[in-house]
Every structure is written in C-alpha cells, then in structure tokens.
Structure 1
Amino acid sequence: MNMETEVLRWFQQVADGVTVTEVADLAMVSQPAVSRALARLEDEVGTPLLQRSGRVLRLTQAGAAFKPHADSVVNALDDGLAAVTEVLDPDAGTVTVSFQLSLGTWLVPHLVRRFLLEHPRTQFHMRRAEDAWGGSLVTRGLVDMELTSRRPDTAQGTWHPLFTETLYLAVPPGHRLAQLEEVSLAEAAGERFVAMRPQWQLREIADRLCNAAGFSPQMVFESDDLTTVRGFVAAGLGVAIVPAMDANPDSPMPGEPWLVRLTDEGAFRDIGLIWSPQRRLLPAAERFRAFLLAQHLTSH
C-alpha cells in the first residue's frame, strides 16, 4: 500500500463537504486528477469510500469508518511539520482552528485579519466545527482550538467565554413586528417558525425560550445552516430566533430579514474558545489563543 498524503487530504476535504471542483482549485490541479486520485485511494482500501448524492459526494459506511483514521494521519503529519517549522522559525507557524459556520461570516475573518496584522507570516488551517453531533474537534485532537457556543461535555476541553450574543426574532420585511425595537417571544406564538435542526445548540435554546413563553413553535422549515434560516425568513416563509451575526438590527440590508430584540430572559448565547489542556500548543497556536483571550468582543 502506497497512499499519498495529498490524496488523504483531498479525501478529508471532500468528506467535510468540499466539492471535487473546489478541491481541484485549491490544489491547483485538474478535477479529473482529483477524481482519479480518490478512485486510487478506494482501490487501495478495497471498497468505495464515497458515493454521489446529487451534486456532492457523501461518505459510505466504509468511508465513515475510514475517515477518523485518515484525519489522525493527516493531522499527526501536520503537527510534525508544524513543529519542525516553528523550531526553525517560530513566527511562521501554523494554527488549526474550527468554528461554527455562523461565526465564519464575520467573527473569524475579523479576528484572523487583526492577528495577521501583527503576525503576517502565520498560517491558518480552518475547519467547520461538528457541533451538530455534540462533539468537538479539539477533544479528538484534530485542531488546536475551536470557536463555538457549545461547551465541551468532557474534561478533555477547556472552555473560556469570549462574549455573549443577543438573540433576536427575525421577521420578514413588512411583518407586523418588523418596526419594533424589542418584543416578547409570546407575541410570536401564532407564527410559523424556521429553525435549525434539533441537534443544533441554537435550536435547543429556541425551543427552551418558546416553552418558557408558553407555546410550542410550529416548525415549518429546518436547516443546518443559519444563513439559510435567515434567507427563508426574508422570503416570508416564517420567523426565526437568531443572533445578529454581522447584520445591523437597526438597518437591515435589502433581502435581509428584520431583527427585533427579544426581551425574554435567557435570549442569548455565549460564544467561547475551547482548547485541550492535555495538548501542548505550539508557539503560533499559543500566541493566537492568548490573542483571542485578550479580546474584548461585542455583538449587536
């Protein structure tokens, strides 16, 4: 068996939701070259690892079993290369960070940009957090740290709060509540709701708030993506409980829903940083962790 580490990286990316075309663009190779390499990997393993579902590739049962081990190999290699790089040049290290997708549109780019102004030679490897499955890539040793609203449920991760996000009722333009500055959730008891799927922490908060307001929400659409939830609201298909993210509640952009601040107790979510006390961070990662903990972050 003669697996190439680059092919394992491509498999890892495709399994995480990146398309073959995007992998090819990132690697600066042709799309057929990536497809052939993945096929060779499956030949070496002895069974299909990926299967097509519409326009994307999904893991087969064998692929799901293989992926954690491929992650372990690739990340162990990355750690070794990073360690050597930082021994030779501590300012040119690599930081691996995972984050909730809803933080990727505003918070993460903002923080990375500010950090790179002071340490421009630092490299970042960014990955999507796996909050929907209740786990953390930190506790599995796959990343240095994670930005998330879900606290780790094991002693393997240290969670430090960074800031609190206010939650809003997102309503379509022209809705009867759109022009209000704040509202009690009980005012929306008869509305149709758009929400994250039940496995997401934001959905847990939304269900708890609705129950405390005395009603069970009528869920008409569910999604794994907060931007999609807001898009459905903007299209007039329901209302939703959401954080502001990068939107200005006082002046929504065209095509965006109106955000009305919720007055209900507990209408917020805490965003924090997770890292492993069992894993020694290399200099670049430790520098970025200290940078994050020193920030005084706010949200709408």
Structure 2
Amino acid sequence: MKALGLVELCYTIANGGMAVITFYLLLLGLLGTSLLAVFSWLAGWLQTSGAVMLVLLGSTIFALSPVMAGFLALFFAMSYGVQGLKKWGLPPNPTDAHEIIEKAGARDAGQVVANCGPLLAVLVGQRWLVSGQSSLAVTEASLPFLLAEVAVIAGVAADTWSSEIGVLSSKAPRSIISGRKLAPGLSGGVSLLGTMAGAGAAIIVAGLWWGGNQLFRPEATTSAFFWVPALAGFAATWIDSLLGGTVQQKYRCAICGKITEQRQHHGELTTKISGLPGFNNDTVNLLTGLLTLLLAFWLQGL
C-alpha cells in the first residue's frame, strides 16, 4: 500500500534518519503534551501526578506515531467535552455516584497509565516487529497494528463516555451479571443511555479514522478501517462492565451499609465483599484496553 507522501518520505531517510526524526518528534511531543497537561491541570481535569504522567507517556506516543497521538488527544478532548457539558450544560446528577466511584474528579497518574498504556504497548510492538517502517506507513505488515491502535483509543473513549454519561440516566443501571438493579456509578452496571453513549464515542473515533484515510489514500482504505475499531471500541464498554462486575474489588460501608468502590466511606475503612486482590478501577481499565487490542487483532482474522 502507498505511504503518506511527504511525511512518509521523512521517515525513509537512510543511515539513521529514523532515529533522528524520532528524536525531534519526541521534543515536539514533549512541548505539545506539556501544554495540554498544564491546561488540563489548571482546568482541574488532571491531578499533578496525572499531568506528569501524561507528559511522559504522551510525548513517547507522539514520537512513535504523531497520528495516533492526535487520536489520543481527540480522546482527551471528548472526555473533557463531556465533563464540561455535565458541569455547565446538562442537568445536575441526582445520584450519589461520587460516593461510590473509586476515583471521581481529576484523573491521577494511575488513570492516565490505564488509558494510555495499551496504546503505547502496541506502538512499541509495531516498531519492534515491523522493523524498517515508520508507524505512519500503511502496509500489509503494519495495518493490523494501526487498526488495533485506533481500536484501543475508540475503546477508552467509548468506556469514558459510557461511564460519564451513563450515571445521568433516569433509570437505574442493571448488573451485567445478574440483571438486578445497581446503584448508578457502580462498576458492572449497564444502562441504555450509557450503552448508546459508548457506541457513539466508538463510531466517532472509527469514523474519523476511516474518513481521514478515505480522503488521503482511498485506494488503500477498506471497510475494515471503520468496522474493526468501531466494533472493538464498543465491545470495550462491555468488557469493562464484565470485569467490573466480576473481578473488581467492592466494599461495604459499616456506617451506611452502601456498596462502594472506595476503601474509606464516612471516614471509616470499608469491608471488602467481592473482587480479586489488586483489581481496582485502574487495573480493570488497563486490562480492558489490552483485551480490546486482542479483540481488534482477532476481528481482522475473521
């Protein structure tokens, strides 16, 4: 398949050209992610640890693939957009989800790793396994990696929209395991509103990827450019709910009796009632991203 013209030409510079280009991309990524991190920190969307981690992971991702870094920035923009609508445009959340969700509010380093880690892993794998080619080249060898990368970004976007918008549903979510009603915000629950939001986010990311390729290299673009990341991204919301309803740790408050994901409630330690050791929300999100990658590779083999 054809490459990206002038941009791709830069990547084919011989005798160490790839390393030189990667170094300058790293510097450019460091500048861009630093600006994004500072803005996000000032806006209250990232904690200090989250901002630092975004700079570290984001600049590395940019050095490996500016295009995927752009799509990752799209994910953050979509996430911030939803948070902004919830704060200034949408009706206030009538639930007490903030007392249930393990980490509400600004994202910390663990959440940034959970969202960005799978993408970085597959980019490193692509650079290692598809040697001699840039991460921008669409070839028979690189295409599976590219679709998987877009899929994991679609997945984190879909999961974020599903969670952030789903708690606003007027109807209580249902357990993906038992079908019984759950408190809004508790992992393992699904709702029609959250499901539709997740599907919308996956379609947006996949549609932009397909549309961009259709615009710049139509001869190399197939329907798989859309349906693989769209399906895998949407499936990530169900994977996350399934893991959240089975292996994620949950606790009961000794004061009010509520089930929560927080280790403390009303200033007292809560009692663990389910889940596996070490499986908190960040662990589940990271595992969801990795499983989304595997699903994207599997879908391409159908």
TM-score range, shorter chain: under 0.3
More helix, by proportion: 2
Please state which structure has a larger fraction of its residues in strand. Answer: 1
Q: What's the TM-score, normalizing by structure 2?
A: 0.27
TM-score normalized by the length of structure 1:
0.27
